[in-house]
């Protein structure tokens, strides 16, 4: 086996798929309202998710695994901890942990390296432990595998704006987000791996409430041969992860969420290098499933298997049709029950191996996005 993945579309050989066992709705912590707002059916609840929802989520995850394996892709699964336990560090305590679905949030694969992210939710601080048995195995089997960990954040109250949500209206939230003013601040490097779009030598990071600029500077020093970019989608009031917003489909083609467009000055680098940005299809559903943290735009959270094949949630008929029209073989995967655990088909996975090498896909650099220059 070999750890090697430089993007989200080269032919997939080996992947990790999450598991739903013991998953908890987190108790109160400073940034909780960013994940569970006051209108959510999870507001005020915390603790283990109902067993029947865990079973349904796992059935869909297992079906997804079978489809991937039937295509010759090797699939590994994490080892869930008992997430329904309190946890402590010298700096904070939590009532519960979270889960190991979705792996995409915590594991960032760049070439032969898998890096555990410095996540901003306290309940997710120990989540990387569910992947340790796999990391140990990869370390033993692949002499070139780099098993890495970003600086563990302290996540004291100083990392958050504790009054951020006080009397905050929807318009107020939209305005703050447009001004890049989020519940997390720049006190220490914080990032979720799912905010980082890997395109060969260039890493495009979404600046939002799960990833700050200090993390991008850390990533730039950690990956000195890459170019780290900061991008943002000003119309998204709740920027959590780039993979329901800006999704590469194959070399030269990206789909963008039509209600969260990349501003023109930030899209110049894509145009200058011959990349086309198209609007994603409209979601088939007008609301997310029960007890779900994410928006209806999980419709575009697809898993690309190679330049011609893509997995799409089975009921997302508009997205299926759009990708079919673009020449893809589309594999429908029922996944609405799994959504509630923290995301769609891309979120539910983390790359171990794809074919291909580190390509320079953006030889013409355009001022504006590179973290070192702004
Ligand atoms: O639109 O709720 C979900 C992304 C999950 N990784 C959204 C973003």
For residue 112, the tally of other CB atoms under 10 A from its CB is 17
Q: What angle do CA 177, 179, 182 make, to 5 degrees?
A: 45
Name, in order, each residue with C-beta under 8 angstroms of 298's C-beta and a sequence gap of 6 or more: 244, 283, 288, 313, 339, 343, 344, 347
Average pLDDT over residues 64-83: 98
pLDDT at 372 over 90: no
E-strand stretches of 59-189 = 74-76, 87-88, 93-94, 107-110, 113-116, 146-149
- pLDDT value at residue 95: 96
> For this structure, is 166 an active site residue?
no
**pTM score, two decimals?**
0.97
- Tell whether ligand 1 has an atom less than 6 A from the beta carbon of residue 295: yes
pLDDT at 196 over 80: yes
* 171/229 Cα distance (integer angstroms): 28
The percentage of residues in the chain with a pLDDT greater than 70, rounded to a whole number, is 100
Query: Taking a C-beta distance cutoff of 8 angstroms, is the pair 152, 146 a contact?
Result: no
- Tell whether ligand 1 has an atom less than 6 A from the beta carbon of residue 243: yes
Q: For each of the domains in the chain, give its residue range(s) and CATH number, in order of start.
A: 12-359 (3.75.10.10)
Determine the distance separating the centroid of ligand 1 and the alpha carbon of 132, expressed in angstroms: 25
pLDDT at 374 over 70: no
Which CA distances in Å does 336 have to 67, 174, 353? 16, 28, 26
Q: Write the burial class of residue 210 (CB in 10 Å: 0-12 exposed, 13-18 middle, 19+ buried).
A: buried
Determine the distance separating the centroid of ligand 1 and the alpha carbon of 348, expressed in angstroms: 12
- pLDDT value at residue 252: 98
Average pLDDT over residues 260-283: 98
Secondary structure (DSSP) of 232-281: --TT-SS---STTTEEEEETTEEEE-TTSPPPHHHHHHHHHTT-EEEEPP
Average pLDDT over residues 223-241: 97
- Tell whether ligand 1 has an atom less than 6 A from the beta carbon of residue 299: no
Helices of type H across 309-373 = 317-325, 336-339
- pLDDT value at residue 147: 98
- pLDDT value at residue 371: 93
Mean pLDDT of the chain: 97
* 352/107 Cα distance (integer angstroms): 10
**Nearest ligand 1 atom, CA 104:** 6
Determine the distance separating the centroid of ligand 1 and the alpha carbon of 1, expressed in angstroms: 31
Note the pLDDT tens digit of each residue in 154-189.
999 999 999 999 999 999 999 999 999 999 999 999
> For this structure, is 292 an active site residue?
no
Element (H, E) at 213: helix 213-222
> For this structure, is 324 an active site residue?
no
pLDDT at 197 over 70: yes
Nearest to 5 by CA among 210, 269, 189, 248: 248
Q: 4 falls in which pLDDT band (50, 70, 90)?
A: very high
């Amino acid at each position: 086996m070999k750890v090697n993945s430089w993007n989200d579309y080269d032919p997939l050989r080996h992947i990790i798929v999450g598991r739903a066992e013991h998953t908890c709705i987190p108790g109160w912590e400073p940034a909780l309202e960013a994940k569970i707002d006051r209108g959510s059916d999870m507001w005020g609840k915390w603790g283990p998710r109902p067993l029947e929802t865990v079973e349904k989520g796992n059935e869909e995850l297992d079906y997804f695994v079978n489809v991937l394996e039937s295509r010759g892709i090797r699939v590994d699964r994490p080892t869930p901890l008992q997430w329904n336990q309190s946890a402590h560090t010298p700096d904070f305590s939590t009532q519960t942990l979270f889960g190991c679905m979705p792996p995409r949030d915590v594991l960032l694969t760049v070439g032969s390296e898998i890096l555990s992210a410095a996540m901003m939710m306290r309940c997710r601080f120990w989540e990387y432990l569910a992947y340790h048995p796999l990391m140990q195995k990869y370390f033993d089997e692949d002499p070139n595998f780099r098993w890495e960990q970003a600086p563990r954040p302290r996540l004291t109250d100083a990392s958050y704006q504790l009054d951020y949500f006080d009397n905050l209206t929807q318009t107020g939230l939209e305005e703050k987000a447009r001004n890049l003013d989020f519940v997390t601040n720049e006190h220490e490097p914080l990032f979720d791996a799912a905010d980082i779009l890997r395109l060969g030598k260039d890493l495009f990071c979404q600046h939002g409430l799960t990833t700050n600029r200090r993390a991008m500077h850390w990533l730039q020093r950690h990956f000195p041969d890459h170019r780290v970019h900061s991008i943002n989608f000003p119309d998204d009031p709740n920027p959590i992860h780039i993979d329901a917003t800006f999704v590469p489909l194959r070399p030269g083609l990206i789909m963008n969420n039509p209600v969260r467009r990349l501003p023109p000055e930030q899209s110049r680098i894509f145009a200058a290098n011959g990349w086309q940005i198209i609007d994603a299809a409209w979601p088939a559903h007008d609301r997310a499933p029960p007890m779900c943290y994410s928006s209806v735009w999980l419709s575009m959270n697809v898993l690309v298997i190679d330049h011609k094949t893509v997995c799409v949630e089975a009921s997302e008929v508009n997205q299926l049709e759009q990708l079919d029209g673009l020449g893809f073989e589309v594999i429908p995967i029922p996944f609405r029950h799994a959504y509630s655990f923290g995301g769609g088909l891309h979120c539910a996975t983390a790359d171990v191996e794809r074919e291909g090498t580190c390509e320079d896909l953006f030889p013409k650099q355009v001022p504006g996005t590179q973290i070192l220059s702004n």
